[in-house]
């Protein structure tokens, strides 16, 4: 291995992974190719489309704009970690299905992770707030309308569950 490598210890979806990575390896590539978590999609590699969004220490970030080495010591949630268990979807995922909020589905993991943190912070959003929060995630199939509806539905259902 080249001398240009870093030992990283990163917690992804609750599991601690230890790997040695080249300094130039993108976090998105690390997640997909080293950890085989291919749910994180890559659409542009310059931070515009939002498909690669993951939750990094509670904040939605674009994994194509970070190096894997920067994740050392941090906790990441990818779309694989969104559902509570293999038999149930997260309310956002359920609402996306109910509202036909995805067509090809390629942007969907990024949309879900962005909206997850958005709803954590904004449990009762209006449509304008959702569109603003969603505006960093490009979707070429849906025209966004059914995604917006899905987020509103998920917010409603999540509020219903809260004490």
Partner 1 sequence: MLHAAFLRSNVAHARIRSIDAAAARAHPGVVAVFTAADLGSQWAPGPLLVPPPPIAGAVFNQHTQVPLAKDKVRYVGEPIAVVLAHSRYIAEDALADIAFEYDPLPAVVDLESAIEDASARVHDEVRGNIAAHVRQSRGNYTAARGRAAHVIARRFLYDHGASSPIETRGMVAHWDARANHLTMWDTTQAPVFLRNGLAAMLGLSERQVRVIAPFVGGGFGPKIMLFYPEEVVVPWAAMKLGRPVKWIEDRLEHFFATTHERGQIHDAEMALSPDGKILGIKDVFLHDTGAYNPYGLTVPINSQCTLLGPYVVPNYDSTFTAVFTNKPIVTPYRGAGRQHGVFVIERLLDVAARGLNVDRAEIRRRNFIPADAFPYNNEIIYQDFTALTYDSGNYEPILDKALTMIGYREFLDKEQPRLRARGRHVGIGVACYVEGTGIGPYEGAKVQVQANGKVSVATGIGTQGQGHFTSFAQIAADQLGVEVSNVDVVTGDTDQFYWGAGTFASRGAVVTGNAVNEAAKVVRRKILKLAAEHFECAEDDLEIGAGAVSVLGVPGKAVTLGELALKANPMRGAVRPGTEPGLESTQYFGPPSGATAAGVHAMIVEVDPQTFTLEVLKYVVVHDCGTVINPLILSGQIHGGVAQGIGNAFYEQLVFDDEGQLLNASLADYLLPSALEVPRMEIAHTVTVSPLNPLGIKGAGEAGAIPVGPLFAQALEDALGLAEQKVELNEIPLSPNRLFALTTKPR
CA 117 to chain centroid: 9
Regarding 147 and contact with partner 1 (CB under 8 A), the answer is yes
Closest CB 11 distance from partner 1, rounded Å: 25
Regarding 5 and contact with partner 1 (CB under 8 A), the answer is no
Closest CB 51 distance from partner 1, rounded Å: 6
Nearer to partner 1, 19 or 75 (CB): 19
How far, in Å, CA of 7 to CA of 118, rounded? 32
How far, in Å, CA of 108 to CA of 68, rounded? 22
Regarding 112 and contact with partner 1 (CB under 8 A), the answer is no
Regarding 37 and contact with partner 1 (CB under 8 A), the answer is no
Applying CB under 8 A, which of residues 45, 72, 80, 94 lies at the interface with partner 1?
A: 45
| HEC readout, 100-158 | CCCCCCCCHHHHHHHHHHHHHHCCCCCHHHHHHHHCCCCCCCCCCHHHHHHHHHHHHHH
Q: b or e along 95-124 (b: 16 or more beta carbons within 10 Å of the residue's beta carbon)?
A: bbeebebbeeebbbbbbbbbbbbbbeebee
Closest CB 47 distance from partner 1, rounded Å: 8
Residues in 47-106 that interact with partner 1 by CB under 8 A: 48-49, 51, 100, 102-106
Binding region for partner 1 (CB under 8 A): 22, 24-25, 41, 43-46, 48-49, 51, 100, 102-107, 127, 130-132, 134-148
């Amino acid at each position: 291995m080249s001398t240009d490598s870093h030992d990283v210890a990163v917690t992804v979806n609750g599991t601690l992974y230890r790997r040695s990575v080249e300094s130039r390896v993108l976090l998105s590539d690390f997640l997909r190719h080293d950890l085989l978590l291919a749910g994180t999609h890559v659409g542009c590699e310059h931070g515009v489309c939002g498909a690669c969004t993951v939750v990094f220490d509670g904040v939605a970030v674009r994994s194509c704009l970070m190096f894997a080495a920067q994740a050392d010591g941090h906790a990441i949630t990818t779309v694989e970690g969104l559902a509570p268990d293999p038999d149930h979807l997260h309310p956002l995922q359920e609402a996306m299905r109910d509202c036909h909020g995805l067509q090809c589905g390629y942007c969907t993991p990024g949309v879900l992770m962005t909206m997850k943190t958005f709803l954590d912070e904004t449990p009762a959003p209006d449509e304008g707030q959702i569109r603003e929060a969603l505006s960093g995630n490009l979707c070429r199939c849906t025209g966004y309308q059914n995604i917006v509806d899905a987020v509103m539905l998920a917010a409603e259902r999540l509020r219903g569950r809260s004490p």
